[in-house]
Amino acid sequence: MPIIVADPAYVDNLYWVLTRIDRLAMIITRERENMDPMIYSPCGFDPAGPINRGVVSADHAGCSNTSPRRIHYRDPATGKNFVFITTCDHLRPGLIALLYFLRWKIEKAYDVFKNRLGVTKTWSTGDTAALMQAHFVALLHNLLTVLLARLQHIGLRETKVTDRQKKRRDKIPPDKQVPAQNNVRHAFALTCQFIRTVRNAQR
């Protein structure tokens, strides 16, 4: 089943369970402050596993006649607490947290669409035109990403973004780093400099 990593505003516990029963999708999101679920029972997990570093607890919780998993996670680097609600029973709790954090990489892609590619309004009010525009914008973004990867493969690298991320990672002590996050190949947002270079090369 596909896994939907949803915004906390998207909370509908009964619908989540029905999509799980009908094998349409599984949901991962953050718990909202006003949810106040009842804890039913703990879920077993390996606290020593590298993927689970930062997981404080994993429980079955009651939310509006449903019982999704509730995962309490404390970021080892910042000490900030996160609580996740999910209908995924088969994934380790640390992986649930990692998938949610990877959601912000998708948000960066939307930022590129709006602020760097200038896609601020639809071509038309019709559904077909809006769908075509979404496909074209996604295609453009993917082609630019492939071009950037090929340039890096032949040794032409834009090191500004990777250097900045490395500096942030180096500030975190080794005992507070999450191994799973270091093992994931992170997608970088396309920079204004790279997009301007491609535009100028077309002229």
Question: What are 2-14's pLDDT values in tens digits?
Answer: 888 887 766 666 6
Burial class (CB in 10 A: 0-12, 13-18, 19+), 84: buried
Structural domain boundaries, residue 33 = 3-99
pLDDT of residue 8: 76
Asked if residue 27 lies in contact with residue 4, where contact means CB atoms within 8 angstroms, the answer is yes
90 in the same domain as 22: yes
Written as one string, the DSSP assignment of 99-116 is: HHHHHHHHHHHHHIIIII
188 in the same domain as 125: yes
125 in the same domain as 83: no
pLDDT tens sequence across 123-147 = 888 888 889 998 999 899 889 989 9
CA terminus-to-terminus distance, the chain: 45
140 in the same domain as 53: no
pLDDT of residue 112: 85
Which of 99, 131, 157 delimits the end of a domain? 99
The number of distinct structural domains making up the chain is: 2
190 in the same domain as 167: yes
From first to last of the 203 residues of the chain, give the pLDDT tens digit: 888 888 776 666 667 777 777 778 888 888 887 777 888 889 989 998 888 989 999 998 876 666 788 999 998 888 899 999 888 888 999 999 999 988 877 777 778 888 888 888 888 888 888 899 989 998 998 899 899 889 888 988 777 777 777 787 788 787 777 766 766 665 667 888 888 888 888 66
**Consecutive H or E run containing 82:** strand 81-86
195 in the same domain as 126: yes
132 in the same domain as 91: no
51 in the same domain as 35: yes
Which of 78, 99, 120 delimits the end of a domain? 99
Which of 73, 99, 125 delimits the end of a domain? 99
53 in the same domain as 7: yes
pLDDT of residue 84: 93
pLDDT of residue 108: 77
Residue indicated by tokens 């491609």:
198
Residue indicated by tokens 């999509």:
19
**CA atoms within 13 A of residue 150's CA, in its CB half-sphere:** 6
92 in the same domain as 111: no
177 in the same domain as 94: no
177 in the same domain as 93: no
